[in-house]
């Protein structure tokens, strides 16, 4: 069976349950070496995210301003927000495993493993949302992550801007959300915290995979890791290297970031 065309069908499936079922079937066959990599495949052009068929998409500035996570409404919104990030991350991982050809099999294995993790995260969060009487689609969403996919059509650019920038930003933000939830000794908050802790630990590995393949892409072109990274993220996200970022130094160093880059992004003199 052809790897690329079959995986494209998974990517283009919009509804979560169907996408997850198709992916799991595909992933089992991949692990059993039942697919061949046909390098004549031409990647599809994605115009709109698959979830546009069942979610209301708005600009980020139009999203609800709910900051109190201690009400049921606040909890539902928080979970829904992270749930949407995880669903978008499923597509980003599948697309990474689909769009770029002539790479080692380990590359495809890594991004399919990431997609499998993101699916598990999505299902854990969806369960919590359902327990609160909510469902995916109860709140409007933005399509920033889909736009990141569109803006990074090349291998080097994708590895720099998605796992090493967007997903790495999640390593910074996750602990801040967890601290807010810990401020109220709510039994349901503890359920959310357990899921967020799992996500944080596994996202470090996702960023590390991105770091590995980013450096692989740089080596193919004999490029400097740090200066190239800063140039790409500044191009994709203007101003991102100028502002002072509040970083999770420990997690980012575990994921492969150099102290030099961390100091530039944080505007600090050390990376402790």
182 pLDDT more than 90: no
At residue 23, the pLDDT reads 98
Other C-beta atoms lying within 10 Å of the C-beta of residue 45: 7
Looking at the DSSP bridge assignments, the partners of residue 141 are: 57
Only one residue has tokens 């889909």, namely: 146
List the alpha helices (DSSP H) in 132-186: 144-151, 155-161, 168-182
67 pLDDT more than 80: no
State mean pLDDT over 163-181. Answer: 93
At residue 91, the pLDDT reads 97
State mean pLDDT over 58-84. Answer: 88
Please write the tens of the pLDDT for every residue from 17-31: 999 999 999 999 999
Q: Which residue has the higher pLDDT, 44 or 224?
A: 224
62 pLDDT more than 90: no
272 pLDDT more than 80: no
Range scoring the smallest mean pLDDT among 63-67, 220-224, 233-237, 266-270: 63-67
**Cα(103)–Cα(107) distance, integer angstroms:** 6
Q: What is the mean pLDDT of the chain?
A: 94
**Cα(183)–Cα(156) distance, integer angstroms:** 41
Residues 201, 214, 95: CA angle, nearest 5 degrees: 75
Fold assignment, 3-266: Ferritin (1.20.1260)
The domain locations on the chain are 3-266
Residues near 272 by Cβ (< 8 Å), separated by ≥ 6? 249
pTM score of the predicted model: 0.95
Please write the tens of the pLDDT for every residue from 119-151: 999 999 999 999 999 999 999 999 999 999 999
């Amino acid at each position: 069976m052809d790897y690329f065309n079959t995986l494209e069908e998974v990517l283009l499936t919009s509804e979560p349950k169907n996408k997850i079922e198709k992916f799991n079937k595909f992933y089992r066959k991949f692990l059993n070496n039942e697919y061949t990599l046909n390098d004549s495949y031409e990647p599809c052009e994605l115009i709109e995210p698959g979830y546009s068929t069942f979610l209301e998409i708005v600009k980020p500035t139009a999203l609800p301003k709910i900051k109190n996570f201690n009400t049921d409404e606040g909890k539902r919104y928080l979970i829904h927000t992270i749930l949407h990030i995880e669903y978008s991350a499923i597509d980003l991982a599948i697309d990474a495993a689909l769009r770029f050809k002539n790479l080692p099999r380990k590359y495809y294995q890594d991004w399919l493993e990431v997609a499998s993790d993101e699916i598990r995260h999505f299902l854990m969060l969806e369960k919590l949302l359902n327990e609160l009487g909510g469902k995916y689609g109860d709140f409007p969403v933005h399509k920033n992550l889909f736009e990141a996919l569109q803006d990074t059509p090349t291998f080097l650019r994708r590895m720099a801007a998605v796992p090493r920038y967007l997903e790495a930003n999640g390593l910074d933000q996750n602990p801040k959300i967890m601290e807010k939830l810990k401020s109220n000794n709510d039994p349901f908050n503890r359920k959310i915290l357990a899921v967020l802790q799992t996500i944080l630990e596994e996202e470090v590995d996702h960023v590390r995979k991105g770091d590995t393949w980013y450096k692989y892409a740089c080596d193919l072109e004999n490029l400097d890791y740090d200066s190239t990274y800063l140039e790409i993220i500044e191009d994709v996200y203007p101003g991102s290297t100028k502002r002072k970022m509040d970083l999770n130094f420990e997690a980012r160093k575990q994921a492969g970031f150099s102290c030099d880059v961390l100091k530039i992004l944080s505007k600090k003199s050390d990376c402790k």
